Amino acid sequence: MQQSLNPWVTSPPRPENASGEAPDTHMPPAAVINAPLRGMIEPDAADRLARRSMTGTAALWITGVHGGAGESRIAGLLDGARATGRCWPVLQDGSKPRVLLVCRADMRGLTAARSALTQWASGAAPEIDLLGLAVLADAPGKTPKALRDFAAIVGGGAPRLWTLPWVEAWRHGDTTPPTARDYQRFITDIAALATDNTPRTTH
């Protein structure tokens, strides 16, 4: 369920005596991105999430990276969580908010997630504690392989990645928390992260 691929780490150079045969498929190394990186270029202004000053408090802020991402649905599953309305949260007391990005598993959603993660990694987002990215299925059934692969690449730019299955009951207005194992594990993970006071590594 959780992936850790880093699309911003390049393959090591080939030895000078390497043969001309096609190289083996390269698997990107494990992600270590948990703070903005030097040298990252921020996305165009049209592709950036806006900032919003938030009133009140929350243990976790849920930021959808596009319309229909499911941020309100995810916020409803997690104790102490609030949706930000597709904006980076800025807290009035100056503290650093803990944020979870949310998108759908279609090309539009994943592309928007890539832009948001690039904005964060470039330092163009406000100062936040980014927990990771949750990718919600956009339709019943198995997600096509091309989109699963793209989600793994995009998620490599986040500290953590959760891929969550389709919930049919939500289409009918049922707000009962899903019983699927992936959702239960996700809820448990987020609860632990949202209450973890251990200082995080910074670059």
Q: In the sheet that 98-104 helps form, which strands lie side by side, from edge to edge?
A: 81-83, 60-64, 98-104, 129-136, 161-164
Contacts of 85 (CB under 8 A, 6+ apart): 52, 71
For residue 11, the tally of other CB atoms under 10 A from its CB is 10
Dump pLDDT digits (tens) for 162-202: 999 999 999 888 888 898 999 999 999 999 998 887 655 43
Dump pLDDT digits (tens) for 24-77: 433 334 455 666 665 667 777 777 899 999 999 999 999 999 999 999 999 999
Mean pLDDT value of segment 136-156: 96
What is the reported pLDDT for 37?
63
Distance CA 4, CA 69 (A): 21
DSSP result, 6-20: -TTSPPPPPPTT--S
Mean pLDDT value of segment 103-122: 96
* Domains of the chain: residue spans and CATH: 45-194 (3.40.50)
